Amino acid sequence: MSDKELIGAFPFEIDVRVPIQLGRESISNSVVAFSELVKNSYDADAEQVLIKFQEMDSASPVIVIEDNGSGMSQDTLLQSWLLIGTRKKQSNKVSGEKKRAVTGEKGLGRLGIDRLCKKLILQTKTEKMDELLELHVEWAHYEGASHSLSDIKHELYRIKPESVYNDKFLFCGVKSSGTRAILEGLKDTWDEELIDALNSELSLLVSPFSGVNDFKIKIQQGENSQLLAESDAMLNAAHWVLDAELDENGLAKASMHSELYGETVEMKPALWADWIKNRADSSRCGPVKFKMYYIPQSMDILKSLSFAKKDYRDFMDRNQGVRIYRDHFRVKPYGDPTGKGDWLDLALRAVSSPGGIAQGGWRVGPNQVVGAVFISHSKNRGLEDQTNREGLLEGPAFYDLRAAVLKFIQFFEVEAHKFAKRRKPEDQKAELKAKVSDSTYRTKQILDEAARLKVAMEQMSSADERKQVVQDLGNKLDEASKALEETVQRTNDYEEILEQEYVALDDEKNTLANLASLGILTVAFSHEALEHCNLAATNAGWLQRNYNEGYFELLSGSKERFL
């Protein structure tokens, strides 16, 4: 008889708390949960996502997230949406109609809704459906229960489209399609600060310069609807634009171009093994594209593009840093404008070498660049997402990616520094001096006009005339304020050039003083040496004369001692 007897075969059981652990407890905050829902809309070929904050001042506020994507059939809803960890997106790498690269992979993003609310009402419809499907999910059912996950049931309804609130965006036609998520029992207090944080996050979600132009996100508060700002206009203020690529064969190529200076610099193509030292012989991160805009503050360029200093600061506060985009969607937290995602340590490098661009060892700071690294699910299999969707797994592929991007940035720093060194300080000084003079003159003109308006207003008796003059005076004062700000900026730039010139002249003065001292010492030494040489020559002549006349023969052996 055998010592081992088979009792049976048993599966793992899944506790009902697993959705909570995969959703609420693995997603760090509500803003990240929203990002996952927006990505699902993108994967469904939606062209627009509308996020509506309704009745925020009431005791029962509601958030509605709706898209005009392909929607879901009953089979899709039951076999994909209600299946945790579905592999559908792994087998279908592109979306149905628009052939977009799908952003989801693990089938867990929708569980993040539990992070947002207590109850979800999900409405969905495909073009072929005459009726809607409506699913109700009560997340409280997963708390404290001790039975199996499959024991939790969710009610599914079939409803007429006309019975659904029609806002002329969704479900408003026979051929309409899309999905609407109604979030009730909100777990966060959505005040202005949190909504602003969501706005900033979603503004960064889709790359501002990746070519995605058929996907829009709108946020609506009450009657106010806001399309998230297009941020690519400020990119025209860049001094330099770096385009770089590491291809599938490990060949690195890069070029940097400046519309401002009319210059282009090409990097000599190099294979990975020759280009990156102290790493593997071949790249493990896969093909990568990198684009970076160097945008230091320049009032002249901003003015030519009709931007104010505040526009620049607001843009850089929202966009600065180097982010990673997988299939056009941002991978958090890399390149977070707050500095928390400085995965390249750009801030540390800049602090370690704080000199200006024309000084040796210059390092670009994260607050001066807007950059993006582009990867994809299909071509960068080594770069895997963490389960919480907040970063990439840090392995050999990730560190190869980091090394490549830093190498491209180093190429930019070296070439930008060389160009800045070549520019003549005299040209910069003359240019800035003329600009300061022009700004000062325009400021004086504006103030003179304001003074004239003030005198004219004092002479007017009509209230309407005075009102118009007051308005004109206010406009002139606004112009004067902007002109003064511009003058101050140009004066500061001019002062910086003069300071650099002063330092250079001071260094030159010190060098000349040192050379003069060395010359004086050399002359003094030469004079002393000359006297000793003359004395030696006199003594040598005396010795020669006396030796020739035989005086040294008087002493026995003296010849041998002298010669």
* Same domain as 50, residue 92: yes
* Same domain as 464, residue 350: no
Q: Residue 176 maps to which CATH number?
A: 3.30.565.10
Q: Which pLDDT tens digit goes with each residue over 191-203?
A: 888 988 888 888 8
Please, which pLDDT band fits residue 283 given cuts at 50, 70 and 90? very high
Q: Which pLDDT tens digit goes with each residue over 384-423?
A: 888 766 789 999 999 999 999 999 999 999 999 999 888 7
Q: What is the pLDDT of residue 141?
A: 84
Q: What is the pLDDT of residue 561?
A: 54
> Which residues fall within 8 angstroms of residue 242, CB to CB, at 6 or more apart?
254, 255, 256, 290, 291, 292, 293, 294, 371, 408, 409, 411, 412
Q: What is the pLDDT of residue 284?
A: 94
Evaluate whether 34 touches 198 at the Cβ level (below 8 Å). yes
* Same domain as 244, residue 220: no
pLDDT value at 426 more than 60: no
Evaluate whether 288 touches 246 at the Cβ level (below 8 Å). yes
Give the residue among 163, 178, 136, 213 at the shortest CA–CA distance from 46: 178
pLDDT value at 482 more than 70: no
The answer as to whether 517 is a domain residue is no
Kindly give the pairing relationship between strand 329-331 and strand 251-258. Answer: unpaired
Question: Any idea what DSSP says for residue 231?
Answer: -
3-state helix, strand, coil in the chain (%, to 5): 45, 20, 35
Cα–Cα distance for residue pair 447/473, rounded to 1 Å? 10
Phi, psi of 343 (to 5 degrees): -70, -15
> Which tops the pLDDT comparison, 229 or 279?
279
Q: Which two tokens stand for residue 323?
A: 């982010």
Alpha helices in 355-462 (DSSP H): 396-422, 425-458
* Among 210-214, 245-249, 430-434, the range of highest mean pLDDT: 245-249
Q: What is the pLDDT of residue 149?
A: 78
Q: What is the pLDDT of residue 112?
A: 83
* Same domain as 259, residue 395: yes
Evaluate whether 232 touches 315 at the Cβ level (below 8 Å). no
pLDDT value at 215 more than 90: no
- For residue 504, what are the domain limits? 425-511
Instruction: Compute CA 186 distance to the chain's CA centroid, rounded to the nearest angstrom.
Output: 31
The answer as to whether 550 is a domain residue is no
pLDDT value at 431 more than 90: no
Tell me how far apart the terminal alpha carbons of the chain are, to the nearest angstrom: 119
Q: What is the pLDDT of residue 390?
A: 75
pLDDT value at 494 more than 70: no
Please, which pLDDT band fits residue 257 given cuts at 50, 70 and 90? very high
The answer as to whether 480 is a domain residue is yes
Which of 394, 421, 448 is the endpoint of a domain?
A: 421
Q: What is the mean pLDDT of residues 77-102?
A: 75
The answer as to whether 557 is a domain residue is no
* Same domain as 118, residue 255: no
Question: Any idea what DSSP says for residue 357?
Answer: T
The answer as to whether 222 is a domain residue is yes
Q: Which pLDDT tens digit goes with each residue over 164-194?
A: 655 545 565 556 899 999 999 999 999 888 9
Residue corresponding to tokens 């207003």 = 457
The answer as to whether 23 is a domain residue is yes
Peptide bond into 333 cis (omega under 30): yes
Which of 493, 511, 529 is the endpoint of a domain?
A: 511
Residue corresponding to tokens 């609506």 = 220
Please, which pLDDT band fits residue 140 given cuts at 50, 70 and 90? confident
Phi, psi of 325 (to 5 degrees): -120, 125
Q: Which two tokens stand for residue 216?
A: 């829009």
Phi, psi of 323 (to 5 degrees): -105, 165
> Which tops the pLDDT comparison, 345 or 309?
345
Q: What is the CA radius of gyration of the chain?
A: 37
Q: What is the pLDDT of residue 544?
A: 75
* Same domain as 462, residue 387: no
Q: What is the pLDDT of residue 438?
A: 57
* Same domain as 127, residue 245: no
Evaluate whether 132 touches 161 at the Cβ level (below 8 Å). yes
* Same domain as 327, residue 298: yes
pLDDT value at 128 more than 80: yes
Q: What is the mean pLDDT of residues 128-155?
A: 85
Q: What is the mean pLDDT of residues 504-528?
A: 79
Please, which pLDDT band fits residue 122 given cuts at 50, 70 and 90? very high
Q: What is the pLDDT of residue 135?
A: 95
How open is the CA angle 45-48-53, to the nearest 5 degrees? 130
* Same domain as 466, residue 413: no
Classified as helix, coil or strand, 334 is coil
Question: In one letter, which amino acid is 84?
Answer: I
* Same domain as 266, residue 193: no
The answer as to whether 521 is a domain residue is no
Q: Which two tokens stand for residue 471?
A: 């308005």
Q: Which pLDDT tens digit goes with each residue over 443-481?
A: 776 677 777 767 766 666 666 666 766 777 677 677 666
Q: What is the pLDDT of residue 265?
A: 96
Evaluate whether 226 touches 57 at the Cβ level (below 8 Å). no
The answer as to whether 534 is a domain residue is no
* Same domain as 215, residue 278: no
pLDDT value at 311 more than 70: yes
Lowest mean pLDDT among 70-74, 109-113, 363-367: 109-113
Cα–Cα distance for residue pair 289/211, rounded to 1 Å? 13
Q: Which two tokens stand for residue 208?
A: 């501002």
Q: What is the pLDDT of residue 401?
A: 97
> Which residues fall within 8 angstroms of residue 524, CB to CB, at 6 or more apart?
none
* Same domain as 491, residue 390: no
Q: How many domains in the chain?
A: 3
pLDDT value at 81 more than 60: yes
pLDDT value at 337 more than 70: yes
Give the residue among 42, 66, 61 at the shortest CA–CA distance from 123: 66
Q: Which two tokens stand for residue 25?
A: 């407890």
Q: In which element (H, E) is residue 403 found?
A: helix 396-422
Which of 421, 454, 485 is the endpoint of a domain?
A: 421
pLDDT value at 340 more than 90: no
* Among 172-176, 419-423, 505-509, 544-548, the range of highest mean pLDDT: 419-423
Give the residue among 144, 114, 127 at the shortest CA–CA distance from 19: 114
* Among 81-95, 505-519, 541-555, the range of highest mean pLDDT: 505-519
